Amino acid sequence: MAITAEEISRNHSLISGFIDSTLLKTDATEPDIIKLCKEAEKQRFRTVCVYPYYVPLCRAILSGSGVDVCTVIGFPSGMTLREAKVLEAEKAVEYGAQELDIVMNMGAAKSGNWTYVEDEIAEIVRRTPQALHKIIIETCYLTDKEKAVACAAVLASGGQMVKTSTGFGPCGAVVEDIKLIREAVGDKAGIKAAGGIKTFEQALAFIKAGADRIGTSSAMQMALYSL
């Protein structure tokens, strides 16, 4: 049975199972990544989320720990070449990534070329069947109608989760978008809230609204809140 927001309110440590502990700073070093992994293992976070370059290091540290390795594909705009995104995804999985946070092609989406968006995601999903695919729709750039269309594209392409944001746009996750996405996908896909989530209270609000996963670079602050 899934953990509820009410249960997390009573036992704050349960938040750890929702957290993708994220480090996507351009200047992140190997010692930073090692620290991230060791903290994630100790706190039993759901995943660490890092750039593809650091996937092998994270997998070596976290193998057998119960903490999965997540990486980003086509980050942060999604507008790299389709063939490059597919190859990036394939290699990331080959090197140890278990989850892929894939940025949909924002240029194609804003141009109304949803067939391209859907086909590209579907190809990545098809070529990396062993991975969990979380599709970043970057809600800050979309109208509510476009958000609903993006969710439909994720479902049609075989993506398993919709992720709100990269954290690199002008705005991150907002509770209203979680509610909109949940209405659009129902129980057919999970939801990851990300971007600007820094406190336990914020994370809990997103979970109450329907989020299944929280992407944050402030994972330890949330974990320490539970002590």
Residue of 101, 134, 177, 212 marked catalytic: 101
∠ at Cα 102 (124, 196), nearest 5°? Answer: 170
Task: Find the catalytic residue in 134, 177, 192, 212.
Answer: 192
192 tagged catalytic:
yes
Respond yes or no: is residue 212 known to be catalytic: no
Identified catalytic residue from 85, 134, 147, 163: 163
Phi, psi of 26 (to 5 degrees): -60, -30
β-strand 190-194 against 213-216: which pairing, if any?
Answer: parallel
Residue 110 is encoded by which pair of tokens?
A: 């804003």
Identify whether 101 is a catalytic site residue. Answer: yes
The Cα–Cα gap between 219 and 217 comes to 6
Displacement of CA 145 from its chain's centroid (Å)? 22
Q: Which residues are marked as active site?
A: 101, 163, 192
